[in-house]
Structures are given as C-alpha cells and as structure tokens.
Amino acid sequence: MQENDIPLYLHAEFLPNIRQVTLYVSLPGTAALTGVRPDIQLSESRKAVTVSLPKPFEHITETMKLPARVSDASRRALKSSSGPAPKSDTQISSHDYSFRMQIDPDEEALASRDELIDDFVPWTAGEMTSTTRIRCRKCENAFLDLSSISDSGDAKESMPGWVWKDLPSGNWAEMMDFWHCHKPDPHEGHEKEEKDSALQLEDKTAQTKGYGAESHVVAISGTVLIDVATFLLAEKDCTGLIKGNDEEQKSATESSAQRTLDCAKCNTIIGMEDPIANGWRLLKANVSLNTASRSDVDTPGWEVHPTEAIVAAQLLELIERESARRFVVHCGQKSGLLLWVFNPDMRYSNSSTGHSIMAQQAMKVFYQECDDVDNLLHPEIGNPSPLSVEELELPSMIFEAMSQALVGSTKMLPPSARIFNEWQVGLLSRFTRRKA
C-alpha cells in the first residue's frame, strides 16, 4: 500500500441515554501503521473533528461533522486515548481507536422526542394534495393520475381530485373487537324488548361508524388510504397495472388469496390484491410520488424513499404497538432473519464514500440468519418458546433490499463495532420529516 493511498476512516455515534458521542478512528492493519496514534482536533463549534496522522503520514487527514455538539472538556478526552480498541480474530484488518466525548448540556439533540407515527412514516395524508400522482419507481409508468378521474365515469367528473386518508394503527381492529365484546351491559330495569331494540341500534351504529365487530377497511373509489408501507386504492382508479400470472407467485400467495400487481411496462412487482379490502395495495418502496400541481413550474420533482426506511417504519410501528424489540423477518420462505432493534432512534456520522457529511438518523439493529422461521415462531411442544418475538413478512424484493442494506451497513461500521456476541451489527436508515 502506497503512503498516499492509506485510508483514514471515521465513524461517530450519539448515545443520548449516557449523553455521550463515541468516535471511532480506523487505520489499515499494516505493519507500517502499528503504534501510529492519530491526532484529533475538535472544531471551535465542537460540532466537528479533524483527524490527521503524524510523520511520515502528515498529509493524511479527514474531517467529519459530529452527530451532536460535545462539551469543551472533550478536548482533553481526545488527548488521553488509551490506545487501539480491542480486536477479535475477525478484526485484524485494521487498527481501531475509540473515544468517548460528553455532550454539551445545552445540545438540542438531548431534548426528548416523542416517537409519533408521523415522525417516522414516509408519505402520510398530510403531505398529499388532490393532484398527487403515483408512478413506477423503475420505468416511470403512471399508476395514479388525475386523467383517470374524468375517464372513469360521469359520477366522478365533478371530483376536484384525490382524497387521501391515513389508516389507523394496526391494532385498531383488535381494540374495536375487544370493545365490542366487552361493552357494558344495558342498565337494569329495562324491558327485554327495549334492550334488544337498543342493542340492534347500537350494532347498526357501530357498523356505520366503523367500530363494529365485523367492520373492516374497504377501498373507496376516489380515495387513497395510507398505511405504513402501502397505498390502498380501488381497482378502477389504477392504471398501468396488470395482475401477475407467475405460477410460483400464485402458489406462494394462495393461502392469503392474493395475487401480485405488476407494472404493465417493466413487469416490476408494484403491489398485490387485497380481497378483504376489495382493493389494490401499492408498495411504497416500489413507487415514486409527485405531490406538486402540474401547473407548478417550481415543482420539486418526483420523490422516492429508500426501501430500508420503509421497513424501518414498519418495525417502529410494531415496537409502538406490540412493545417488542425482536422480530422474525422473512418473505414466506423457510429461512429469514432474526432482528433485535437495539436502538430505534440513533444519530451517527460516517466518513465512508456515499455518505453525507451531515449526521444521519437510523435504527441500530443486531441481526443473525434464521434457517427455520416456522420453528422459531412455532416451536414444537416441549421446546422453549422465544419471548416477545414478533413476525414481519415482507414481499421478496423488499426483504432482499432490506437484507442487502443491513449487510452493507455492517461493512460500513468500524471492524471493532461489527459484532456483538453472536449478533452481526447493522444500521437501517430512518425516515426523518423535515420541519417546516
């Protein structure tokens, strides 16, 4: 390795619970760099660090912003490192140093943040307009367009555009069933006929308002219903989609009576039928949206979100709903991944290629391969059952993209931070809604 080619790698993680930032500095594991201690300078604002090497490598330097402002006392901590971080047998390819810095007491990042659904779910109803359009992420084929309103019948000609509504939390139906089954008894002293009449009226009202035991979400023409990972539309509102005919796909979804929906132009799987809701579900991960008016010359263009951010939103929603941190994630096959969401809201900075110099928001995830998903979820009688393990089934292409993102993030981490006991360590990018 030439002196000019020596890479200097920086990674920093913000740990709000202990009010610290951990900084990793990695050097190649070559003999020439053994014992070489990096020099670290904290910027005047205490929001960035500059790392350089001593002679004869003084020309090698790297600057990176920190995920949070650190205290002035951190300057002394950076001068008193105890040496390279401990290494395992799989971590011999680099010399790693780690430093802990205290957060500035006035740092805004220390303020408590409620993990509300609108904070981590991309594309909610509040962001949409009556003229929002949906198209294929890959080939730009349109699936939802205003032109389909005037072409769908006289009844819709007077509609101003699409109506967008957020669906309730995933446990909404379960809560309503519980309420319906355990509602209070009628007041004593009523006649039987009056009780029956009141119960019939109550049941009818419950069905009308959507909280009856038999009620469920149904697609409505002209309205787009939004959940964490999909858009639910009426079939006649969609254009440019065809039902999948692949026999393997049909057999894989036979149990749920679903068929895939493919782009008519590039054959990419865009979503699936939802017979229960009598509609079509389009996957957020496979489409792009434009929320601007066609007449707006300053339109920001079409927007997409990383697949991993949408999967992260699904995991966060399950964390809120089920209070679980471990998940079996699979795509209907025998094998899958066991995930442990160690930190659902982490900020980090990274100097690797392809990463912004600004702090990123992510979930820190420990993961390992699972050879038998069904055995883990439904162990045989007599075998111990895992506690607080939730299931998340994803379409195959979404699962593959998420898996690749996890493996890629592991390679991005410093070698000394890639393994925790029997777990691999990775990051899943989180969606962050920008404040107006």
Residue (of 432, 262, 265, 275) closest to 361 by Cα position: 432
Q: What is the pTM of this model?
A: 0.81
**Is the predicted pLDDT of residue 177 greater than 80, yes or no?**
no
Average pLDDT over residues 1-30: 81
- Give CA separation, 421 vs 288, 325, 332, in Å: 39, 17, 28
Average pLDDT over residues 134-160: 70
Per the CB < 8 A criterion, the answer to whether 16 and 110 are in contact is yes
**Helices in 68-123 by DSSP H: which ranges?**
74-79, 117-120
pLDDT of residue 334: 93
pLDDT in tens, 228-271: 999 999 999 999 999 986 544 444 444 444 689 999 999 999 99
Q: What is the pLDDT of residue 254?
A: 43
Domains of the chain with bracketed CATH: 3-110 (2.60.40), 119-290 (no CATH), 306-429 (no CATH)
